[in-house]
Amino acid sequence: MPGHTIVTMPGDGIGRIVLNESLRVLDAAGFSAEYVHADIGWEFWKKEGNPLPQRTVDLIRKYKTGLFGAITSKPKEEAANELNPELRDKGYVYSSPIVGLRQLFNLDVSIRPCKTYKGNPLNFIRRGKNGAIEEPEVDVVIFRQNTEGLYSGVEWTNPPDKVYEAFLTHPRFKKNFGQVPREELSISTRIYTYKATRRILEAAFRYARNNGYRSVTLAEKPNVIRETSGMMYRLAREIQAGQYPDIELWNTNIDAQMMWLTKNPEHYGVIVAGNMFGDIVSDGFAGLIGGLGFACSAQFNDEGIGIFEPTHGSAPKYAGYPVSIVNPIAMIESACMMLDFLGEKETATRIRKAIATVIAEGKVRTYDMLKLSGSPAVINRGAASTQQMTDAIIEKL
Ligand code: NAI
Ligand code: MG
């Protein structure tokens, strides 16, 4: 059977640990692929002054599918101080390689599923009628626009002449900010384009239809942010009416959505939002299903490139433990999303069932699932190691 070729980017800290665990699971599930290692992260910043070497970019462009662990990022000054001495003061400026990947490949569609596993002690619970404890089953998939909006980096403090003058032409700017000394003004723009907004909306509706969800919820703020959120809502209505009359469009305000997700999270299916609101709402839902040990993600562009990663970072303080304690499930779930992308849905389903069985049985639990605070001692207090959790999943396959 001709295998796939996958670019593996372990990165830093626990990224290296969990990525390797996900490969063990893929192997055990009979997934056939060739893995090509690619350098990314702190080590390459220090050694080469570039955490995202060109050779890594070339590999992704060539093979199109990337499995990513996590990287360590640090503020600019700290980063500059950690450069190898011969590279210092040569004009190298640190920037996050994962943000770099998003921009370079225009990975504009980000997907973050948040599904409850039965028996996970970290599941959200609430008090129901008569004080009964209820455990709603969350099954939400968040579509986050990944490249524009408030995170696009078009911003100024003490804006230059032409920008300032342009802003002054807006009556509200003039009235409310026209008297503020220019050097005391910080401006971050929120830019939405029709093309990218349409793409994230269409991806959300398509996913809803293909996966049996009855609704798509737009979580923005069109009543206040009239231009960007307003445009997104208008396009959402157009797309729904024109192509997806079988799927309901719900419109919620992001602030109210954050309240409702702790009241009735089971009511929501597919959620779609711009960059920052998508970031916020996906962390909110991830908290209901177990947090960082369970939160997986995928990001795509319109040329068939997909990169799959847990949403957690490199957790450096846990990276050097003699026995690793971190939960590999977020990474293994991300690998399952990669399998979906590669058309290997059956294998993905088997792995997800194996994870579900291990969690439901409750015999093997990492420290986060036992609500312990992380330290090497958790192993002696009954927590499974990273490898033991992976082994348990493999055993169920
Ligand atoms: P983090 O996600 O690395 O860790 C925060 C805390 O979450 C950990 O101390 C641990 O208690 C818990 N945690 C994380 N992953 C876990 C897992 N798999 N199992 C169990 N518990 C887990 O975030 P933090 O500490 O803010 O950042 C550490 C470094 O990672 C920084 O350099 C940051 O810039 C970077 N980072 C990288 C990301 C990426 O590569 N996509 C995302 C977020 C942070
Ligand atoms: Mg986030």
Note the pLDDT tens digit of each residue in 213-242.
999 999 999 999 999 999 999 999 999 999
Ligand 1 binding pocket, CB closer than 6 Å: 70-73, 98, 292-293, 309, 312-316, 326-327, 330, 368, 374
Q: Whose CA is closest to atom 13 on ligand 1?
A: 292
Give the C-alpha separation, 261 to 195, whole Å. 29
DSSP 80-112: HHHS-GGGTTS------HHHHHHHHTT--EEEE
Q: Could you tell me where the DSSP H helices lie in 4-160? A: 14-28, 42-48, 54-63, 76-82, 97-104
Residue 309's nearest CA partner among 17, 101, 6, 66 is 66
Q: Is domain 124-153+191-288 in CATH 3.40.718.10, yes or no?
A: yes
For residue 2, pLDDT beyond 80: no
Band of pLDDT at residue 197, cut at 50, 70 and 90: very high
Atom of ligand 1 nearest to the CA of 317: 9
Average pLDDT value for residue range 124-135: 94
* Count of other CB atoms within 10 angstroms of residue 191: 12
Q: Which range has the worst mean pLDDT, 75-84, 162-171, 354-363?
A: 75-84
At 41 the pLDDT is 97
CB 303 within 8 A of CB 338: no
Give yes or no for a contact between 71 and 98, defined as CB atoms under 8 angstroms apart. yes
Q: What is the pLDDT of residue 283?
A: 95
β-strands 65-70, 4-11 pairing: parallel
Measured in Å, residue 315 CA sits from the centre of ligand 1 at 4
Q: What is the mean pLDDT of residues 58-72?
A: 98
Question: What is each CA distance from 255 to 176, 221, 277, in whole angstroms?
Answer: 24, 8, 9
- Nearest one of 47, 98, 107, 93 to 70, comparing CA atoms: 98
Nearest-angstrom CA–CA distance, 93 and 87: 11
Which residues 6+ apart lie within 8 Å of 155 measured at CB?
Answer: 186, 187, 188, 189
Looking from the CA of residue 368, the nearest atom of ligand 1 is: 20
Nearest C-alpha to atom 43 of ligand 1 is from which residue? 313
pLDDT-derived band of residue 195, with 50, 70 and 90 as boundaries? very high
Which of 314, 365, 387, 388 for mutating ligand 1's site (highest number of atoms within 8 Å of CB)?
A: 314
| Sign of the four-CA dihedral 197, 199, 203, 205 | positive
Angle (CA) 314-41-78 rounded to 5° is 85
**Whether the predicted pLDDT of 1 surpasses 70:** no
Q: To test the ligand 1 pocket, which listed residue (72, 289, 292, 369) has its Cβ within 8 A of the most ligand atoms?
A: 292
Band of pLDDT at residue 77, cut at 50, 70 and 90: confident
Å from CA of 170 to ligand 2 middle: 32
Q: Is 343 left (phi over 0), alpha (psi -120 to 50) or beta?
A: left
Is the model's pLDDT at 21 over the cut of 70?
A: yes
In whole numbers, what is the pLDDT of the chain averaged over residues? 96
User: Considering only CA atoms, which residue is closest to atom 8 of ligand 1?
Assistant: 315
Ligand nearest to the CA of 313: 1
Supply the pLDDT for residue 152: 85
Q: Report the topology of domain 1-108+306-397.
A: Isopropylmalate Dehydrogenase (3.40.718)
Domain boundaries, the chain: 1-108+306-397, 124-153+191-288, 155-188
Q: Which ligand has an atom closest to residue 283 CA?
A: 2
Share of the chain above pLDDT 90, in %: 95
Number of neighbours of residue 91 by Cβ within 10 angstroms: 6
In this structure, what are the phi and psi dihedrals at residue 86, rounded to the nearest 5 degrees?
-70, -10
Nearest residue CA, atom 6 of ligand 1?
315
Which DSSP symbol is given to 188?
Answer: E
Q: Are 28 and 350 in contact (CB under 8 A)?
A: no
Once rounded to an integer, what is the mean pLDDT over residues 178-190?
Answer: 96
CB 232 within 8 A of CB 192: yes
Residue 99's pLDDT is 86
> Which residues, including other chains, have CB under 8 Å from residue 364's CB and lie 6 or more apart?
358, 384, 388, 389, 392
